[in-house]
């Protein structure tokens, strides 16, 4: 039976905003997600709602070392990113997009792999805040959002996944056929809903937290 988180307890739920960085969202960026840019207003709505209702907002930033030592394997998969410094800390591409920049009090987590939990202190920070449920939005649906959702599930967090506030890009044919961003997004949602998360819309998030405020 699919997971359903209803109502959402605002006192024990955090929103994780995954990698909404210029490197993925700026026009003509190396790993540009046009769908990600288009869903910014929807994700901003979710962020504003969570802040209004006292829910912690956590941002993640995908980063690389200046010397590239941590990119040895990823170079095989993201060749178009090989000569870019966009995800090096301090570079413009590594910054959170200005339309949804963090505010004072938001937690910002630097990560070096797809999952926001791998090699970071995110789990400890969430436990310290009394969080047992996370809602995920951001880019990309099938990589960092999916990996973070799975890793949260492995650590016994209940997981909500925003269907209209996650997005990705088109995939070229690497020998197994090409997939459009819409196809990748939809297939990821189907898999997550069957195995890992409560896949919900931002409207669902609004409705399920209505009248419930953190104490």
Q: How far is CA 52 from CA 12, 46, 55, 97, in A?
A: 15, 10, 8, 21
CA–CA distances in Å: residue 62 to residues 21, 71, 99, 199 = 8, 12, 18, 23
Measured CA to CA, the distance from residue 122 to residue 207 in angstroms comes to 27
Domains (range + CATH), the chain: 13-208 (3.40.50.850)
Structure tokens at 35: 């769908």
**CA gap 6, 147 in Å, rounded:** 23
CB atoms within 10 A of CB 57: 20
User: Cα torsion for 23, 25, 27, 31, to the nearest 10°?
Assistant: 50
Q: Which two tokens stand for residue 33?
A: 């997600």
The order of strands in the sheet holding 13-18 is 107-111, 57-62, 13-18, 133-139, 158-167, 198-200
Pairing of strands 13-18, 107-111: unpaired
Phi, psi angle pair for 103, to nearest 5°: -110, 165
Q: Tens place of pLDDT for every residue, the chain, 215 residues?
A: 789 999 999 999 999 999 999 999 999 888 899 999 999 999 999 999 999 999 999 999 999 876 665 665 555 444 555 455 668 888 889 999 999 999 999 999 999 999 999 999 999 999 999 999 999 999 999 999 999 999 999 999 999 999 999 999 999 898 999 999 999 999 999 999 999 999 999 999 999 998 655 44
């Amino acid at each position: 039976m699919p997971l359903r988180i209803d109502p959402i307890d605002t006192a024990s739920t955090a929103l994780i905003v995954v990698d909404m960085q210029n490197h993925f969202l700026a026009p003509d960026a190396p790993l540009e997600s046009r769908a990600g840019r288009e869903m910014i207003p929807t994700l901003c709505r979710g962020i504003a709602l969570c802040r209004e209702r006292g829910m912690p907002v956590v941002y993640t930033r995908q980063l690389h070392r200046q010397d590239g030592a941590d990119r040895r394997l990823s170079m095989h998969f993201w060749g178009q990113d090989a000569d870019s410094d966009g995800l090096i800390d301090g570079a413009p591409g590594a910054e959170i997009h200005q339309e949804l920049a963090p505010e004072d009090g938001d937690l910002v987590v630097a990560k070096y792999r797809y999952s926001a939990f791998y090699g970071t202190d995110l789990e400890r920070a969430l436990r310290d805040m009394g969080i047992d449920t996370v809602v995920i939005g951001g880019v990309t649906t099938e990589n960092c959002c999916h990996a973070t959702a799975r890793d949260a599930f492995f650590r016994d967090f209940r997981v909500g996944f925003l269907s209209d506030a996650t997005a990705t890009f088109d995939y070229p044919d690497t020998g197994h056929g090409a997939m459009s961003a819409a196809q990748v997004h939809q297939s990821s949602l189907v898999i997550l809903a069957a195995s890992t998360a409560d896949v919900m819309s931002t409207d669902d998030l609004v409705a399920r937290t209505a009248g419930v405020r953190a104490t």
